[in-house]
Each structure stands twice: as C-alpha cells, then as structure tokens.
Amino acid sequence: MDFWTRFKKNKLALGGSFIVVLFFVVSIFAPLLSPHDPGEINLQNVLAPPSADNPLGTDELGRDVLSRMVWGSRISLKVGFASTGIAILIGIVLGAVAGYYGGWVDSFIMRAVDIMLCFPTFFLILAVIAFLEPSIWNIMAIIGLTGWMGITRLVRADFISLKEREFVQAARAIGAGDMRIIFIHILPNAMASILVAATFGIAGAILTESALSFLGIGVQPPTPSWGNILTAGKDNIDIAWWLSFFPGLAILLTVLGYNLLGEGIRDSLDPRLRG
C-alpha cells in the first residue's frame, strides 16, 4: 500500500504504465485488432497512403501496415520478456553466489563480468549472429546471454549488504543452509532492485531487437516486426513516410513507457530517490 501510494502520485510513471498495458493488450488481442491478414499481398495497392481501409497505409507489397504493426507487437514483447528473463536468471545466480561467498569466487565471477563488459554489447550480438541463423529464438537467447552483467553486479551489491543483516545471522544461527539463506532470506529482499532492472532490461531488449531486424539480421520476413517494417521505410522514405513514422513511433513509445515505469517503480520503492 505504501508503494502504491507513492507510485500513483508519479504522473509520468502512470503514463508509462498506461503505454505498457496498452501495447500488452494490443499484442494479446492481435487477431481481433488486426483489420487484415498481415501477410496478405495486394500488388494493386502498393505503397498506398493512410486511408479508411488501411489506416496506416500499405508497404511495398501492398500489405496493411497497421496489421503488421499489431502482430509485430507480439514479437517485441516475446523478445523483451524472454531475453530479459534469461539475463535476470543468469544475473541472479552469479550475483548471489559472488556476493554471498565472496573471496576467490567473487573475484572470478566479477573478472568474467569485467571481460564481458569490455566488448560493446551490440557488436558482440552481431558477431554471434554471424555464426547462427537469424531467428526470433536465436535473437532472444543472444540478447539474454549478453545482457546479464549489469544484473550480476546489482545482485552482488545487494547480497554483500544484506548478508550481514541480523535476520541472516539469525537464520544461520538456527542452522539454515547456504541455499536456504540465499533463496529464502536474502533474495526476496533484493527483488525490488531486480524488478527495476528487469523493467529497464525489457526496454533495452525491444530496442536491440528492432535494431537487428532493421539491419536484416533479426526477425526475418515475412514475419512482421517493427524493425523490418522500418527497413521497408528506409528504402521508400521519399514516397512512403508512413513506413518509417508509425513503427518508429511505436518503438519510441514502448521504450519510453518501460523506462518511465522503471523509474516510477524505483522512486516508489526507495523514497530517498523521490524529487
């Protein structure tokens, strides 16, 4: 209740929540909200501007842009949640082990984090994709496997702080094992910062997937995604502005929504960060 009281006072956070929920509903009800088949080709209606029948126009094959964007929202959510889930899982395990045990275990894990952080994440993803077939499953796995470093450092810092608290010492005094202390006593108290990081991670994953699809090495046509719709927009920017404007706006609003939501959750969970 205390969290909700602070959260609902943050108008930007509420706006971000509305955007997130809106796109979530659109993705769930895509079959009902899509006015046309997203793969239906109509060569007699190529690059048609927005109209009553095609509210966001058509692409270079006469496919309805609104329908493709509605179905593309599913791709964005799948990639965002799945890849962030992978990163969170790896980050929690490594960060918890490093922060709880310390010593050489901590040093080894953190040196691995430092090595991974030496490589620009996006170019690391490009290098891995060069050896794999571009597909949504590979994209989700690659983004997740290259995005765990920040979560690891965050969880490690929380565990270093929490493992010396009285409730942990009490659990240890009554004979609780390491795994019970880590997952039952410490981890639930570190979930607030993990939740915030996950929210920001979803936004980053959606942006990365869109960039990869825009470059032609992400989700492959004819599967609709906001990124490959933008690719068609780039090729026809002079005569079909809607192919760039609408998917670009969708990406902007989605990422903005998750960022505003993440900041709102962070400020509401930690009153010291409120302005």
Domain boundaries, the chain: 2-30+56-273
What tokens does 265 get? 């959750």
* CATH 1.10.10.10 assigned to 2-30+56-273: no
Radius of gyration, CA atoms only, the chain: 22
pLDDT of amino acid 153: 93
Write b or e for each residue in 178-208: b if 16 or more Cβ atoms lie within 10 A of its Cβ, otherwise e: eeebbeebbbeebebbbebbbbbbbbbbbbb
- Tell me 209's DSSP state: H
pLDDT of amino acid 4: 78
pLDDT of amino acid 275: 47
- As a whole number of angstroms, the distance between CA 245 and CA 236 comes to 12
Q: What is the pTM of this model?
A: 0.87
DSSP string, 219-256: SPTTS--HHHHHHHHHHTTTT-THHHHHHHHHHHHHHH
Q: What is the pLDDT along the chain (275 residues), one digit of tens a residue?
A: 677 788 888 888 899 999 999 999 999 999 999 988 888 888 888 888 999 999 999 988 889 999 999 999 998 888 999 999 999 999 999 999 999 998 899 999 999 999 988 888 788 888 887 787 777 888 888 899 888 999 999 999 999 988 888 888 898 888 888 888 888 888 888 888 898 899 999 999 999 888 888 888 888 878 888 988 888 888 888 888 998 899 999 999 999 999 999 888 888 876 555 44
